[in-house]
Amino acid sequence: MKVISVVHNADILVDTYQFHDSLKKEVIRLLGEGAPCIPQKDSNVKATLHTIWDWEPNNIKFRNVKAYIREEIERHYKPGAMSGDPNRVWLKSTNFWANAYQRGDYGTVHNHKPNDFSFAYFLKSADDHAAFVFSDSGYKIIPKEGTFVAFPAYLNHHVEEHKVDDKRITLSGNFKIDQ
């Protein structure tokens, strides 16, 4: 058997969230209260802080941002286009977490299989913060506060080393097609 790796075209979505300010305030508050975290060794993200995988599932602000991103993914990728039921919600959130990067932190190359779609939301960021990189193509997303990137979960990606003292905070999550 011969295995050939190819770089391929895949659509990624980049958009803003209109309720960014209240979401940011909520996340900063919760992180300040001491959010439950996982050990750094249990993730591809080598950040100073990585919350548990299913962080605050009943938080209404988190549910709203996940619903907005889910709707944008469904509108663009149309996972149920062949079903004949245009009103059905096709994606289910499988997890949601926060990362806080300080100087020297980074994310190793990884993907989010077996999920179908993933996202990263730039909650606290600036132009000089570490880029989000699609590893196979080298395409870089410069983090802009209040912006998210959504993409097929099989795409390899990483976060460059964070080289500034200002903290970079992201929210990330995954969706699966709910059949």
Instruction: Give 152-175 as a DSSP string.
Output: ETTS-EEEPPP-SSS-EEEEEEEE
Distances (CA, A) of 126 to 14, 54, 157, 165: 16, 26, 20, 11
Is pTM, for the whole model, over 0.75? yes
Average pLDDT taken over every residue of the chain: 92
Looking at residue 81, its pLDDT comes to 65
Query: Residue 118's closest CA among 44, 48, 59?
Result: 44
Sheet holding 49-50, edge to edge: 13-16, 147-152, 117-124, 168-177, 91-101, 49-50
Q: Report pLDDT digits (tens) over 111-155.
A: 999 999 999 999 999 999 999 999 999 999 999 999 999 999 999
Query: Residue 96's closest CA among 49, 58, 146, 52?
Result: 52
Looking at residue 5, its pLDDT comes to 67
Q: Report pLDDT digits (tens) over 69-88.
A: 999 999 998 886 656 666 66
Do residues 162 and 133 touch, judged by C-beta distance below 8 A? Answer: no
Looking at residue 179, its pLDDT comes to 72
Selected residue with higher pLDDT from 157 and 42: 157
Question: Which structural domains are found in the chain, ordered by start?
Answer: 13-80+87-177 (2.60.120.620)
Do residues 168 and 100 touch, judged by C-beta distance below 8 A? Answer: yes
Average confidence (pLDDT) over 46-61: 93
pLDDT exceeds 80 at position 57? yes
